[in-house]
Chains A and B, each alone.
Chain A
Amino acid sequence: MKLEDLRHGTVLLKRGFASMQKGGVIMDVVNAEQAKIAEEAGAVAVMALERVPADIRKAGGVARMADPNKVIEIMETVSIPVMAKTRIGHFVEAQVLESLGVDMIDESEVLTPADEEYHIDKKKFTVPFVCGARNLGEALRRIDEGAAMIRTKGEAGTGNVVEAVRHMRAITSEIRRLQGMDETEMVQRAREIEAPAPLVIETAALGRLPVVNFSAGGIATPSDAAMMMQMGCDGVFVGSGIFKSGSPELMAKAIVEAVNHYDEPAVIAEVSKGLGEAMRGLDIHLLAPEEVLQTRGR
């Protein structure tokens, strides 16, 4: 086989990588020790971070890409894929993360945006990207820019699932609406939601997003995770919910099992026993407008 016959970084490879994550839990970790706990618990991937979102909230200031040493330390510790976050629009942070060899980049509203107009042109990269979305328009714009995976934004670092639910419902109900339209109406709807018409039509035909769709932002318990799965997402990201809980090992394992048995309440009940305290959590209505992360990058 000739080396020049190999093709890297294709859409199929990027979306294919994302599809291998389905039915899984991707966990935020800030060091090698946490990464090990996540892998042992059955996480399908870890997100390497400087701080979990709850601590980013507390710290304030500008939140940036993690220290490369931290990312490398985590990549060397686990055999599952390692993801890392770049600021919205910060294509050099993304280039740096790609050069480190991370398996997927999250262009994330959890970090402070570097560009308030444009997202990263993700098609230029070999590494696949995941991006947050609050509704169908945002999701399809990100896919158009080259995202291989979508996650609901939710409201990260709150331990409150209400926004993830809102975003998941928004996406699925918008897709259901499209399915009742003819093509002329779909093209008009595409204009209204500022999404490319071909992607709108493709989504209506599939009855789902054309890429894997995870849920994220505020998932803190096994029941939270299972509810998102029952609402039709392909898997979940758990950020602060694991390592800000009373017993991270137990919580991590319980959430993995709850995702696997998302439609079996008796199993969810069993794994929810004696987990200790879940992360404390924030009421969304008490956040000041500048504390809301989901409105970053539309």
Chain B
Amino acid sequence: MAGKPSLFRIGILALQGNVTEHIDAFTHACRIQDIPHEILPLRKKEEITGLTAIAIPGGESTTIARLIDKNGMRDAMVHFSGSYFATCAGLVLLASEIIGEERYTPLGILDISVSRNAFGRQKDSFESDINVQGLDTPFHAVFIRAPVVIRTGSHIQVLAAIDSMAVALQAGKHMAFAFHPELSGDLRLHSLFLSTLS
């Protein structure tokens, strides 16, 4: 690659959830790779224009979904031409189907079906080292009331699975995780995502 890398503008959906952890993680990941960056909290549909990528943080998916609609951001998010990086609640929101959820429809950006709180309640939340495709050593993954992907459509590449249920996946330019790469202090998955942006 010749010349100066272009400026990455990454919007962190800031309606509810652990937004600051995502801002910090992306800022840090860009800095260590010397990538010119602007990491912005994203709260209005007008702010979507010009973004390279949108990260959807962890939080309560029902709350975030409600606020996406209330703030009139759904159309702009569905038609966003950049990349998505989604964790936990974010993974749920990008799905095409949420098992047992009739109150709202997810954004349908990824052709997957997800099951919410698949491992149980908070007492069942866990940390574990898992193998992720594209990384040469295991990744320390933090699962908090995490969802799992129980069906993957075409064009979905599973990067990691637990008991044959996908917990990390890539779909073209998008990446989504059932766990929280922003919490473990290991930025390799952020770096992997940044390397796919152009």
Contact = CB atoms under 8 A, between A and B. Distances in A.
A21 B89 CA distance: 12
Nearest to B66: A42
Contact of A1 (B101, B128, B184): B128
Contact of B89 (A20, A40, A104, A256): A20
Size class of B's contact patch?
35 or more
B122 A260 contact: no
Contacts of A19: 18, 21, 58, 183
A126 interface: yes
A5 interface: yes
A79 B62 contact: yes
Contacts of A127: 122-123
Given A13-B144, A20-B89, A40-B103, A6 B126 contact: yes
Contacts of B145: 17, 20, 81, 103
A16 B17 CA distance: 10
Nearest to B162: A1
A44 B60 contact: yes
B136 to A, nearest CB: 18
Give the secondary structure class of A's interface: loop
A24 B129 CA distance: 30
Interface in B86-111: 88-89, 101, 103
A9 B123 contact: yes
B126 A79 contact: no
B105 to A, nearest CB: 16
A101 B121 contact: yes
A103 B121 contact: yes
Contact of B15 (A23, A75, A102): A23
A186 B167 CA distance: 44
Contacts of A40: 103
B59 A13 contact: no
Taking each of A23, A98, A126, which has the highest tally of chain B beta carbons within 10 Å of its own beta carbon? Answer: A23
A45 B126 contact: no
A80 B62 contact: yes
Taking each of A20, A22, A80, A104, which has the highest tally of chain B beta carbons within 10 Å of its own beta carbon? Answer: A20
A10 interface: yes
Taking each of B20, B116, B117, B145, which has the highest tally of chain A beta carbons within 10 Å of its own beta carbon? Answer: B145
Interface in A41-91: 42-45, 75, 79-81
Given A7-B128, A17-B145, A39-B62, A22 B19 contact: yes
Interface string A23-47: 1100000000000000110111100
Given A1-B128, A6-B128, A7-B128, A16 B121 contact: no
Contacts of B66: 42, 256
Contacts, number: 119
B100 to A, nearest CB: 8
Contacts of B162: 1
A23 B130 contact: no
B126 A13 contact: yes
Contact of A42 (B63, B116, B180): B63
Size class of A's contact patch?
35 or more
Nearest to A19: B18
A38 to B, nearest CB: 11
A40 B66 CA distance: 9
A8 interface: yes
A44 B142 contact: no
Given A1-B162, A98-B123, A127-B122, A22 B63 contact: no
Contact of A128 (B14, B21, B120, B122): B122
A122 to B, nearest CB: 14
B67 A260 contact: yes
Interface in A155-184: none
26 contacts: A1-B130, A1-B162, A1-B163, A6-B128, A7-B127, A8-B124, A8-B126, A12-B142, A17-B144, A20-B58, A22-B17, A23-B19, A24-B16, A24-B60, A43-B63, A44-B63, A75-B121, A79-B116, A104-B122, A126-B123, A127-B122, A256-B66, A256-B67, A260-B15, A260-B43, A260-B70
Interface of B: 14-21, 43, 58-60, 62-63, 66-67, 70-71, 88-89, 101, 103, 116-117, 120-130, 142, 144-145, 162-163, 180, 183-184
Given A1-B128, A12-B183, A44-B16, 6 more contacts: A19-B21, A23-B59, A42-B62, A80-B60, A256-B66, A256-B67
What are the 6 tightest A-B residue pairs by CB atom distance, in nearest-first order? A103-B122, A23-B16, A19-B18, A6-B126, A44-B60, A42-B66
